[in-house]
Amino acid sequence: MPELPEVETTRRGLAPHCVGRALVRLKVREPRLRWLVAESLPAQAAGRGIASVGRRGKYLIFALEGDLNLLLHLGMSGHMRVVSARQPVKPHDHVDFCLDDGAILRFNDPRRFGSLHAIEGPTDAHPLLASLGPEPLSAAFTGALLHRVGQGRRAPIKSVIMDSHVVVGVGNIYATEALYRAGIHPARAAGRIARARYDRLVNEIKAVLAEAIEAGGTTLRDFSRTDGLPGYFAQTLAVYGRGGEPCRACGRALRSIRLGQRATVYCPRCQR
């Protein structure tokens, strides 16, 4: 599944091609995504200029003229690419954002777990966004916040930082890597972590996400950037996907467990 760095990489790749351009046509070939795309949406969006491309968690937000926003989620296997009008339509090319210069922002989603919604006015109150926690790279996400949320909780810390109500967009890959860097066992109860260790964990979450964004994301199955090239952060992963291999810090074999139905790899010596 594309995680926050992949979505941010997509946002940065799309913005130069569409901001300031007009959305001539929104062509929906397959409306049966995770939620049915409203039949009225193409007519509602057509002809409006694109003022900006934002992101909230793993959602892309296309701000159109006239206070209309298009909220797009890439789902588990979706991606957007910039293509020409001559580019043949491929299987699973479900939505085209046709721009006034002839370029197309094409949304491909094999599993159809993505979604597309129109929001009139502010987006924060939309049901899909209203309960989301702070952005992990923002000043609002702090060790003090995590420490307060974790008080008295027996839930594994990895599950807590992957809870979008606590902090938005910290997916499995980056939670695993940040916990390793911070030296915290992923199954450790959130209520049994000191404030200083939470400060370090927040710093490592911010660092690993920022590094992944700069690397263009992580190559996972069919994720690629808007230019069709893969992200390169996978080359620097210290623990994710390396169960049984030696820890790069101490040499001990990394262990694999499952937490919250997710594969989790950690070092039994370096993480406690």
The CB density around residue 66, as the number of other CB atoms within 10 Å, is 11
- For 41, 124, 131, 255, the CA distances from 128, given in Å and listed in that order, are 18, 9, 7, 35
Q: Is 135 a catalytic residue?
A: no
Residue 112 annotated as binding site: no
Residue 17 annotated as binding site: no
Q: Is 91 a catalytic residue?
A: no
From 12, 34, 55, 262, active-site residue: 262
Residue 258 annotated as binding site: no
- For 61, 210, 260, the CA distances from 186, given in Å and listed in that order, are 32, 21, 11
Q: Is 122 a catalytic residue?
A: no
Q: Is 21 a catalytic residue?
A: no
Residue entry with tokens 């967009």? 169
CA-closest candidate to residue 212, choices 170, 259, 242, 183: 170
From 2, 5, 156, 186, active-site residue: 2
From 48, 58, 158, 242, active-site residue: 58
Q: Which residue numbers are catalytic?
A: 2-3, 58, 262
- Binding-site residues for DNA sit at 92, 111, 153
